Amino acid sequence: MSVDRYEAVIGLEVHVHLGTRTKIFSASSTAFGEEPNSCTDPVCLGLPGALPVLNRAVVEAAVRLGLAVGSHIRPRCRFARKHYFYPDLPKGFQISQYEEPLCEGGAVEFRLTGESRKVRLTRIHLEDDAGKNIHDNSGVSFVDFNRAGVPLVEIVSEPDIRSADEAAEYMRALRALVRTLGISDGNMEEGSLRCDANVSLRLRGAEKLGTKAELKNINSFKHVREAIEHEIRRQTAVLDRGEAVVQETRLWDPDRGLSQSMRSKEHAHDYRYFPEPDLPPLAVDQDWIARARASLPELPESRFRRYTETLGLSAQDAGVLTSEREIADYFDAAAKACAAPAKKVANWIINEVLARVSDPRALAAADLPVQPAALAELVDLVEKGTLSGKLGKDVFGRMWQEKRRAGEIVASESVAVVSDAGLIEETCKRIVAAHPDEVARYKAGQSKLLGFFVGKVMKEMAGKANPKTANEIMQRLLG
């Protein structure tokens, strides 16, 4: 068998919770982690006689997303009922959009191992989430309807994705996008971002699509990659045996690292879509679209281009900085407050700041020990030579620990670099006099020993000597 014989063709359906305060069709809270069934009301519980009323903040959020990916926003769209029976689905149908979605077309741009990629979108539509079944050990099942009615956008891609890695990067890009837009926390642990994957294989070079399987229940970047890789291997084996892939829906089991068939095409749900009669068609006028467009922040991809093209950052650094909205915001704020080149600020953030937080979203926290302006101050002290790189790192550590500004630490504890050439020269002379053997070896050509001498000087001066000055003086003394 050979994986390379086949090309994978993958399309993703990504569900994103929109972070509105209230539900899509009623006024209860969307808060996560509350007491089960405490954030409910007659509408989201599907009680008889309750009627949905559309939350305009939800539409606003989806329109912003549509504009950010270049979708066409339909001036008039409709909701539709999608029917199936399940205990967590209170009405016996989901209110979704079918023939007339809010957004059509558009594309998501991102990079895969340095290469620029573009995945086209079929559509983005609105729908309500279902509740959650909870099974306990005694065989009793419960349903928590707090999640029922939480607004979702479903982002349906064209089958433009060719690998598991690309699928994961696409998901990351979407997550960064919705977080930058401020329309979702993109929190995968809380189920704010979930995906189904349609995977098929075809012989390399073939035009015609193969038979696809739909993978459900994928809820982390890691699972996206694992589930798709597994599915590609599974279908490859089927095809290599000369068999046909069965069109079916498969449930990904992340614990066991495999998928199981849920239902075949013959047993596929007939969702019996029809226009939701309780909701009139939704009109989104040009004014509304214009206001939404005007409110768009700088998006991750244009930030990336600005960082690489205008600020001269490497693609790798720009990639790290734009991977989370909070990192990029932090970087922008620090770079703005700093006289030193942006590249220097980027290094400090990547090497020092990010090393100290487990979740980069913490960079937006008001109680973050080192705020962007404080970092900028430190970077400037280092760049001016007031602090050596080594000292700067120490000072940063203390800033983080003690929540103090760099200037304050330097002023109060004389940790600044000694740039007094006379003082440094005295020390250098002492070191040279104390190490005649090394001097002789240096003079015999072992120029690497310069580091040894400078190191001794730095040690003698408790690391406070300006390393550049010490280097120059030592070189001169050693002749």
Tokens representing residue 436 in the block? 């005649």
- Give buried/exposed letters for 275-308 (b at 16+ CB in 10 A, else e): ebeebeebebeeebbeebeeeeeebbbebbebbb
Query: Per CB under 8 A, does 36 bind another protein?
Result: no
> Quick count: other Cβ atoms within 10 Å of Cβ 251?
16
Q: Judged by CB under 8 A, does residue 47 bind another protein?
A: yes
Q: Is 279 in the site for another protein (CB under 8 A)?
A: yes
Query: Token digits for 360?
Result: 């980069």
Is 56 a binder of another protein (CB under 8 A)? no
Taking CB under 8 A as the rule, does residue 357 contact another protein? Answer: no
- In the complex, the smallest distance separating the C-beta of residue 148 from another protein, rounded to whole angstroms, is 10
Per the listing, tokens 């979740």 go with 359
Our finding on whether 312 is near another protein (CB under 8 A) is no
- Does position 278 bind another protein by CB under 8 A? yes
Does position 221 bind another protein by CB under 8 A?
A: no
Interface with another protein includes 445 (CB under 8 A)?
no
Q: Going residue by residue from 256 to 275, which x/- string records binding to another protein, judged by CB under 8 A?
A: --------------xxxxx-
- Among 75, 257, 280, 451, which residue interacts with another protein (rule: CB under 8 A)? 280
In the complex with another protein, which residue's Cβ is closer, 272 or 476? Answer: 272
User: Does 281 help bind another protein (rule: CB under 8 A)?
Assistant: no
Total residues contacting another protein by CB under 8 A comes to: 29
Q: Which residues have CB under 8 Å from 44's CB, separation 6+?
A: 23, 25, 26, 28, 90, 128, 145, 148, 149
**CB of 193 within 8 A of CB of 14?**
yes
Side chain identity at residue 374, one-letter code: A
Instruction: Determine contact, residues 166/109, Cβ cutoff 8 Å.
Output: no
Spatial CA neighbour of 145 closest among 217, 66, 65, 91:
91
Residue 315 φ/ψ, nearest 5 degrees: -60, -35
Ramachandran class of 287: left when φ > 0, alpha when ψ lies in -120 to 50, beta otherwise: alpha
Q: Contact between 48 and another protein (CB under 8 A)?
A: yes
In whole angstroms, how close is the CB of 54 to another protein at the nearest point? 7
Over the window 127 to 166, marking each residue x when it contacts another protein by CB under 8 A and - when it does not, the resulting string is ----------------x-----------------------
CA–CA–CA angle 334, 337, 338 (5° rounding):
85
Interface region with another protein, contact rule CB under 8 A, candidates 80-88, 302-310, 386-394, 404-412: 80-88
Is residue 180 within 8 Å of residue 16, measured between CB atoms?
A: no
Per CB under 8 A, 421 contacts another protein: no
1, 3, 31, 51: which one contacts another protein (CB under 8 A)?
Answer: 51
Least distance CB 144 / another protein (angstroms): 12
Which is nearer to another protein, 48 or 422 (by Cβ)? Answer: 48
Q: Which is nearer to another protein, 143 or 251 (CB)?
A: 143
- Residues lying near another protein in the complex (CB under 8 A): 42, 45-54, 81, 83, 85, 87, 90-93, 143, 270-274, 277-280
